[in-house]
Amino acid sequence: MKSAYIELYEAAVALVAVLDKSAEQLLPQEIVDVVKLHSKLAVGSALIPVPGADAAAGAVNIWTMYGRIGGKVGIKVSENKLKTIGSGVLTNLASYMAMVGVGSAIKAIPGIGTLTGTALMTASLYAVTLASGYVYVKALTLLANKGGGDIDINQIDSAIKEVLANKEIIKNFVSAAKTDFKNNKDEITKKD
């Protein structure tokens, strides 16, 4: 199984190439760095002890990530559209979000519930955020390919559905992301 980081980088390279930004050699890595940073921030949101607030912080983090990715490739998207996009992706990744919901609910039990809930949420929030970035980059690439290098952001919902339709690829990506989290947990959770 290929690393989620490698798959994300390959998706970013494809996006940059189709947008004809190939002269900007560092751009794919910048996109990957945005997704990885927001995935790390998602782990931080798991530390919020208030049930529900942790998951809400994770969702806001994903919307912000989408805005930053768009900024890197020159796409301006309204805040409402970012929320719609993020909600659509998270809804489609619901089966992977189950552990996030369970972890958040367990935090209602003082003490041990907070610790257990946080532990359950960290890898899942990391993987879902990484997968959300991957899906968004793939959807933008799909739109750019269809538009001859131009992206009609109004078509993003259908592009995301098309990317998410390949459930096996998404399942493998989330699995690889969880493995990457476990293999790099110390680096991911270290304070910079």
pLDDT digits (tens, 9 = 90+) for 111-136: 787 787 777 778 888 888 999 999 99
52: alpha, beta or left, given left = phi > 0 and alpha = psi -120 to 50? left
Pull the structure tokens for residue 187. 């680096």
Helix 112-146 to helix 94-106 angle (10° resolution) is 160
pLDDT of residue 191: 66
Name which residue leads in pLDDT, 57 or 88: 57
pLDDT at residue 97, as a whole number: 65
Which residue range forms the structural domain that includes residue 38? 4-189
Residue 164 has pLDDT above 80, yes or no: yes
Q: Find all residues with CB under 8 Å of 3, minimum gap 6, and list them.
A: 176, 179, 180
Domain total of the chain: 1
Cβ–Cβ under 8 Å, residues 127 and 96: yes
Pair 57, 45: CB distance under 8 Å: yes
Give the CA distances from residue 17 to residues 9, 37, 127, in Å, rounded to whole numbers and listed in that order. Answer: 12, 23, 26
Give, in order, the Cα–Cα distances in Å from 55 to each of 87, 153, 166, 168. 12, 26, 25, 25
Lowest mean pLDDT, pick from 42-46, 54-58, 81-85, 158-162: 81-85
Q: pLDDT value at position 95?
A: 65
Model confidence pTM above 0.75? yes
pLDDT at 8 over 70: yes
In the 8-state DSSP scheme, what is residue 61?
H
Average pLDDT, the chain: 83
Looking at residue 147, its pLDDT comes to 81
Q: Which residue has the tokens 């003082």?
A: 110
pLDDT in the model for residue 92: 66
Helices 112-146 and 79-92: angle between axes, nearest 10 degrees: 110
Residue 128's closest CA among 52, 78, 55? 55
* pLDDT, mean of residues 4-15: 88
Kindly give, in sequence order, each residue whose CB lies less than 8 Å from that of residue 149, ignoring residues fewer than 6 positions away.
Answer: 18, 19, 20
pLDDT digit string, tens, across residues 30-45: 999 999 999 999 888 8
* Angle CA 77–81–86, to nearest 5: 110
Of residues 108 and 74, the one with the higher pLDDT is 74
